Structure 1
């Protein structure tokens, strides 16, 4: 059996084929970059129709190369928090708002939750521009045409491909409208969002499986009999793919953005652990929750600096970074894209301090990268306050795979905790596959994790099959 993992990210959409042990098949990867429209006003949107076309191109490429043979399971992971308004025919009435968009604001005179702390404990979120409780009223105000219903990017894309595409519990938890214990839409959150049940996606039951629409089964006949699982939030999938499936390990993932998270077993209906005010909590699935904090800056900081500061490439850049003094020459506030919840700093809040005529472009990059390291270290301390012992940390994501210097900077910032590195960049796909197979616990034995200074190695799930 082969598994097709789809990663519906912010900067790209990818399709990756894995074997029955969730090990990626060599060369069986298709990727398309997507255009994230950004602006000084806090815009962060995607074109939903173009995004769907990019996914179709990935499937065509994999099919043409013969990689879709023997696919029995298709498992998507997707960015949390996105939302797109739809008309009665399910067509977009505007672009997809991503997690990066900071424009939504509460309507004039609108009141928040009656008990903000209870709301936070119940939904794992806040009444904040990053969640649907604020985003949906704002989108209605912006729309020139009446909105029939709302969907996330995953529900819109999969709704075009599958006979039905309900919203998974994992994706629903990222909207801020879900009661994390009851696993149903929260009445107060929906009232704040100004939505009726029919305007929200149906929630996928445990074990839901989908199938391609007939017209798409004709286009990709190798997938005609494949079962599609409900999507999982990309952060949850990345934790599992990083081997961080219980509180003994925290995942620090740096892709386009960045986050620090832990997973805890909390079955549906069970009492939720207390949640510190600074942290969010979402659902991995019906049996686990993921708690943490996220940042709008990550690999996009590196990309911005490389482009605008005309930095050297590869080994030359790594060598230049190694010559930066340990205490650095430049201090930085890396909030270029503003704050993720619960913070309210707008886009454009980044700062560089300590500049002198001796400062170089490499010094600026080092300041930005270490600035993010310090934010993560501070928030990890808060995250650890709810677990028994300080966590081992596993670094993962494409940006971590690209820079040994940045990994070393994280080791220094997170000391004295042990810090390791998941060398394979496709941690989301691996995690999504393990979740689809019902093998979350096996993520603790995922291969590819080693010292932060080790070179790339193949990713495997070593000895993960249950006995």
Structure 2
């Protein structure tokens, strides 16, 4: 049996085929870049139909290469918090608002949660521009067309491809509308969002499986009998793919954005652990939760600096960073994209201070990157306080794979914790596959975790986890 793993990210769509142990098949990877449209007004949107077309192109490429022949299960890692307005027949009425969009705000006279602390404990979220509680009223106000219903990017895409596409509890938890213990739409959150629970997507039951629509099964006959698992939020999938599946190990993932997270086993209906007021909590599946903090800056910060400061690339840049050394007067605020919840700092809040005529472009990049390390170290301490123990850290994501210097900066910032690196660049897809297989606990032994000073190229085939 093979597994097709889809990763619906912010900067790209990827599809790869893995074997029954969730190990990537060599060469069985298709990738399409997608265009995130950002603006000075805080917008961060994607074109839904264009995104779906990229996903279908990935499936076409894998099918043409003969990689889908033995696929029996399809797993999906998808970005949390996205939302788009839909017509009654499911057609988009506007672009997809991503996590990066900071424009939504409370409408005049809107009511806040009666007890913000209790609301945060139940939903793991806040009344904030990142969540549907504030996004849905704002979208209705700005859409210009009556909205029949709302969905996330993955629900829109799978709604086109599959016979039935309910919302997974993992994706629902990212809306800020889900009661994380009861796994039901929270009445107060729905009232804040201006929707009835019955107007929201149906929630997928545990071990739900979907199938391709007939017309798409004709396009990809190799997938006609494959079963599709409920999607997993990208952060949760990355934790599993990084081997961070209990409180002894924290995942620090730096892709387009960045996050630090701890995963815990908490079955539906069980009492939730205390949640620090500065941290969010979402569902991995019906049996696990993930707690953490996220940041709008990450690999996008690196890409911005490389582009605008005309930095060298590859080994030349790494060598320049190593030579840069410390600059005691230079300070940076890396929040170029604004704050993720619970912060409300808008996009365009990045700062540089202490510049001199001796400051170089490489110095600026270094201080921005170490600034991100400091933000993550602070929030990791909050996570550890919540579970009462220090954690080993596993660095993962494309930006970590690309820069040994940044990995070393994290080692310094997170000391004295042991810090390791997950070299597998497809941690989201691998994690989603392990969740779909019901093998989260086994991910603690996933291959690809090495010392942070390992300078080999990122591997695409990790060692096999034990059965």
TM-score of the superposed pair, with normalisation by structure 1 = 0.98
Q: Does the CA contact (< 8 Å) of 1:21 and 1:461 recur in 2? A: no
Query: 1:185-200 counterparts in 2 under 5 A?
Result: 185-200=185-200
Show the counterpart of 1:263.
Answer: 263
Unaligned runs of 5+ in 2: none
Partner of 2:466: 464
Aligned residue in 2 for 1:294: 294
In structure 1, the partner of 2:22 is 22
Could you say what secondary structure the match of 1:90 adopts? coil
Residue number in structure 1 paired with 2:139: 139
| 1:128-181 Cα deviation digits (max 9, x unpaired) | 000000000000001211110000000000000000100000000000000000
Conservation of the 8 A alpha-carbon contact between 1:210 and 1:228 = yes
| Map of 1:309 onto structure 2 | 309
* CA distance in structure 2 between the aligned counterparts of 1:374 and 1:195, rounded to whole angstroms: 39
Alignment of 1:150-229 (within 5 A): 150-229=150-229
Q: 1:458 Cα deviation (Å)?
A: 4.7
Deviations for 1:356-379, whole angstroms, at most 9, x for unmatched residues? 000001001001100000000011
1:339 and 2:324 aligned:
no
Which of structure 1's runs of 4+ aligned residues deviate more than 4 A? none
Counterpart Cα distance in 2 of 1:390 and 1:427: 23
For residues 347-366 of structure 1, the aligned pairs below 5 Å read 347-366=347-366
Q: Contact conserved, 2:162 with 2:213, CA < 8 A, in 1?
A: yes
Question: Aligned pair in 2 of structure 1 residues 461, 209: CA closer, same or farther (>3 Å)?
Answer: farther
SS of alignment partner, residue 17 of structure 1: strand
Q: Which shows bigger deviation, 327-336 or 221-230?
A: 327-336
CA contact (8 A) 1:423 1:459 kept: no
Paired residues for 1:110-129 under 5 Å: 110-129=110-129
Distance 1:458-1:93 versus aligned 2 partners, 3 A rule:
closer
Please report how far the alpha carbon of residue 109 of structure 1 lies from its aligned counterpart in structure 2 after TM superposition. 1.1
SS in 1 for 2:176: coil
Query: In 2, Cα distance between the equivalents of 1:303 and 1:460?
Result: 27
- CA separation of 1:5/1:234 partners in 2, compared to 1, >3 Å: closer, same or farther? same
Q: In structure 2, the residue corresponding to 1:63 is in which secondary structure? A: helix
Report if aligned partners of 1:445, 1:461 keep a CA contact under 8 Å in 2.
no
Q: Deviations over 1:1-47 (max 9, x none)?
A: 10000000000000010000100011110000000010000000000
Deviations 1:242-291 (A, max 9, x none): 00000000000000000000000100000001101000000000000000
The 5-angstrom pairing of residues 320-335 of structure 1 reads 320-326=320-326, 330-335=330-335
Q: Distance in 2 between matches of 1:327 and 1:234?
A: 36
Secondary structure (helix, strand or coil) at the match of 2:55 reads helix
Aligned residues: 465
SS at match of 1:438: coil
Counterpart in the other structure of 1:275? 275
Deviation at 1:198, TM superposition (A): 3.5
Q: Distance in 2 between matches of 1:169 and 1:379?
A: 25
Q: How does 1:423-462 map onto structure 2 within 5 Å?
A: 423-454=423-454, 455=456, 456-460=458-462, 462=464
> Could you tell me whether the CA contact under 8 Å between 1:149 and 1:198 is conserved in 2?
no
The answer for unaligned runs of 5 or more in structure 1 is none
2:243 equivalent in structure 1: 243
Q: Distance in 2 between matches of 1:245 and 1:300?
A: 27
- Residues 427-461 of structure 1, C-alpha deviations (whole Å, 9 max, x = no match): 00110111010000011000000101112345435
